[in-house]
Structure 1
Amino acid sequence: MPIAERLIQDIEIKLGKSIINITPLSGGSINRVYSLQTAMERFVLKVNNRFNFPGMFNLEAQGLEIICSTQTIAVPEVLIQSETDTESYLLMEWITPGNTTQKASEALGEQLAQMHRHTSHSFGFYTDNYMGSLRQSNQLHERWSDFFIDERLKPMVRIAQTKQLLTNNDLRLFELLYQKLPGLFTEEPPALVHGDLWSGNYMIDAHEKPYLIDPADSYSNREFDIAMTTLFGGFDKTFYDAYHASYPLQTGWQRRLKLWNLYPLLVHVNLFGGTYTNQLRECLASFV
């Protein structure tokens, strides 16, 4: 889909530079993504309908800024976040892709661990945001178990129930899980997490430097990020070894991966239908 001329004009005015080339990029199911070139520079542009996903790019820009402020791991620089009458857009620096070498994987693990050391007085975030195209509630809680139940599981279970994607037995098992959850792990301080850390949401540049993109930030249990890395693959042993060497996880973390992955699986059930339901039920059955 071509970019509206008024949007390009808006970017050119804000940049003070002329756009000489526009190339569509693969960008998933939510946004249209393009490479923009001026005479001297290249940028990434994300565009969506401002009414379908209100505030999405503003929240994404804020999430990137929070990660950047930790000075632990790189994120793309946000240059412009703005709207036209119908569209919202986010213009960011271009990251030249490189290879995921051993050095890059090690840096990714170490730097994620250092980001996770940044904490807050509560679990949650100062604003709600998005997980994919679904709104994500981040109201503050003193305990991770309460946050995970009330702000992660219950909202997604309600959506799935409304869509008739879960059975009465599924709902009964979730209620049992809510009762058992506080005894399934040991609380630790909130950690700043990326929140949607699958292989498509990190990049390695041409100099083997890792970047995080498309965050769904919150202050959560750091095992949540680690669990998400295992859901669809794309992270090697070097990454995990480097993370553990920098910030060891609590005993039994491997057993809890399926527990924390209930949330992204519920998100996928709600976004893509019942194809993920069996995987969701397998994870749920491991704990109830």
Structure 2
Amino acid sequence: MEKPLLTYIGERLGMGILNFSSVGGGSINQVYYLQTKSEKLLLKLNNKEDFPGMFKAEAEGLDIIRRTNSISVPEIILQDEFGNDSFLVMEWIDNKRPGTKASILLGEKLAQMHRNTTVNFGAVADNYMGSLKQSNQSHTTWAEFYIEERLKPIVQIAIDKHLINNDNMKEFDQLYKNIPRLFDEEKSSLIHGDLWSGNYLIGIDDRPYLIDPAITFGHREFDIAMTTLFGGFSNEFYEAYQYHFPLNEDWQQRIDLWNLYPLLVHLNLFGLGYLGQVKDCLKQYI
């Protein structure tokens, strides 16, 4: 990190930065631990031309979650630009591995967050899923939103990259026709949108925090399905969630339907290694 940027951040914070160090976990952004005289902070940094508006959207997403008074998120301290850099400074969370108490709290607090609703699906500013932009235009049904704002745009990227062929495209066209009858519509829920195990933290007091949101008002099964994609969520988490906000009895039949979207994101970002999983999910619903 260049000294002029560090000096600027210190000036904006109104306090000197005593030291800093790079921390892991940033596949898109550079991530740093900052130590000031009075507090520990986390800095995320990227090129503003590569990911325009990413940190603004992240800060807004965290603020929307915070205002639900349900699950905790890190406090946003500063979001700004300097030269070619865009950056986000937030509260540093000392964290630990989740135990039983923390897993139960995570399920309970996520259920509380999901009870926040609005009239339409989408209905928040556009944001990012990983390094890919995603649109959150409002639709009256989740089926319409999922097809038009999630699947169609991400499938088009895969077509443009020659990652899927015409036969795959015909299968997606059939899927779009089938989706409305594959599930029961319910009121929209505020969902995290990228809920894998790397996007929650457990504080040393067992308090769960959500980070790196890709929020929208969507179907809450989408969040729960994604928790199963890469693991990292315990049985206690699912039991607590079900106790506080039970899912439809057949929700597990749609896990692969909702996970099509994050798998397509991974296909576009990381290549053909994910194509087999995409095809396996797709064929179940056509």
TM-score bin (small chain): over 0.9
- For 2:183 and 2:141, the matched residues in 1 are separated by 12
Using the TM superposition, give the Cα deviation of residue 40 of structure 1 relative to its aligned residue in structure 2, in angstroms. Answer: 2.7
Alpha-carbon deviations, 1:90-111, whole Å to 9, x = none? 0001100123010000000000
Checking the alignment, whether the CA contact within 8 Å between 1:108 and 1:239 is kept in structure 2 is yes
SS in 2 for 1:81: strand
Give the match for residue 201 of structure 1: 199
1:89 aligns with 2:87: yes
Alpha-carbon deviations, 1:46-96, whole Å to 9, x = none? 000011000100100000000000000000000000000110000001100
Using the TM superposition, give the Cα deviation of residue 29 of structure 1 relative to its aligned residue in structure 2, in angstroms. Answer: 1.9
Which of 204, 220, 223 is residue 221 of structure 2 equivalent to? 223
Worse-matched range after superposition: 20-29 or 80-89: 20-29
SS in 2 for 1:261: helix
Q: Give the letter for the 2:210 counterpart.
A: L
1:259 aligns with 2:257: yes
Tell me the TM-score normalized by structure 1: 0.98
Worse-matched range after superposition: 124-133 or 215-224: 124-133
Checking the alignment, whether the CA contact within 8 Å between 1:125 and 1:217 is kept in structure 2 is no
Checking the alignment, whether the CA contact within 8 Å between 1:98 and 1:207 is kept in structure 2 is no
1:1-288 mapped onto 2 (5 Å cutoff)? 3-288=1-286
May I ask how many residue pairs the two structures share in their alignment?
286
Structure 2 unaligned blocks of 5 or more: none
Checking the alignment, whether the CA contact within 8 Å between 1:99 and 1:208 is kept in structure 2 is no
Worse-matched range after superposition: 16-25 or 220-229: 16-25
Alpha-carbon deviations, 1:95-135, whole Å to 9, x = none? 00123010000000000001000001100033110000000
Alpha-carbon deviations, 1:139-193, whole Å to 9, x = none? 1000100000000000000000010100211111100000011000000000000
Using the TM superposition, give the Cα deviation of residue 5 of structure 1 relative to its aligned residue in structure 2, in angstroms. Answer: 1.5
Q: Give the letter for the 2:85 counterpart.
A: E
Residue identity (%):
53
Using the TM superposition, give the Cα deviation of residue 38 of structure 1 relative to its aligned residue in structure 2, in angstroms. Answer: 1.3
SS in 2 for 1:21: strand
Checking the alignment, whether the CA contact within 8 Å between 2:124 and 2:217 is kept in structure 1 is no
Q: Tell me the C-alpha RMSD between the 2 structures.
A: 0.7
Structure 1 unaligned blocks of 5 or more: none
Instruction: Show structure 1 runs of 4+ deviating over 4 A.
Output: none
